[in-house]
Structure 1
């Protein structure tokens, strides 16, 4: 079992936001490196506390692939891109499969940081489904659903799934 804390994963709108996140991470002991390619040949780089950063353009599938690979290997990622663009949504979705993704500098809006799978699960739980039923309806394994809900609990800063659902309902934007 990995005892390392989760590496940070941030998608921000501007270079200034990225600088603010990188300064905070440096104070927490992370080493920033530009670009998303990892020079270290070892697979697990989580113990090295490396955070890779850079801009991801609308058609930059190579940068998305490298950023997601780096995150899977345990590196932190701070990407500057438009979160509402197709590339930004793809990056957030792919990073979200690894763990929680913070959108913005401080993760102040947990609902905005949720990936679509988490939103769908929380909506189903709010409607009265069990986690198992919600997982089946969303074509997820129970283990993946439990992981996504645990990540949502961490984003909301609560201990129970019920508290996460209530926090989600209070904070989400009306549709």
Structure 2
């Protein structure tokens, strides 16, 4: 079971996602504080949602996700707070989930996953402890492996193959 973790720009987008999750059997609750006695709440199929307006709320979202709750956070994903939240949520996952048919090395997948999450190549390189030049070379190799010409096409191919 994949626990939903969404960072969305506005309430209408969040409402659409929450409706779909409810149809799939998830229980939704506004707010990110978890009051459950047990640490692991992943078996409850609980999704917490709400606006993320400050750093304290970011910490609550990450803690809830770490404990196994699904989260739907409403914050501009291109803002510094939104990018930081997305990066923190991505770090909770042991690694990108990519089918074996994807012809990429793990370091290429890690860079494409960060680009897909909205990071720049420079930010992705720094997060992966690479020089910008090395990151660009690995992304170029990923483009060649995927048979595309642009980095944008590589990210889209990565997302398409990861989904399916």
TM-score, normalised via structure 1 length: 0.60
Change (3 A) 1:85 1:6: same
TM-score, normalised via structure 2 length: 0.64
Q: Could you tell me whether the CA contact under 8 Å between 1:53 and 1:78 is conserved in 2?
A: yes
Distance 2:138 2:17 in 1: 33
Distance 1:46 1:168 in 2: 38
**Does 1:64 find its partner at 2:58?**
yes
Q: RMSD of the alignment, in Å? A: 3.3
Aligned length: 126
Per the alignment, in what secondary structure is the counterpart of residue 78 of structure 1?
Answer: strand
Unaligned runs of 5+ in 1: 102-109, 130-161
Q: CA deviation at 1:112?
A: 3.5
Unaligned runs of 5+ in 2: 97-112, 129-134, 157-164
**Does 1:45 find its partner at 2:48?**
no
Q: Could you tell me whether the CA contact under 8 Å between 1:96 and 1:115 is conserved in 2?
A: no
Indicate which of 28, 32, 56 corresponds to 2:28.
32
Q: Could you tell me whether the CA contact under 8 Å between 2:31 and 2:48 is conserved in 1?
A: yes
Match of 1:74 in 2: 68
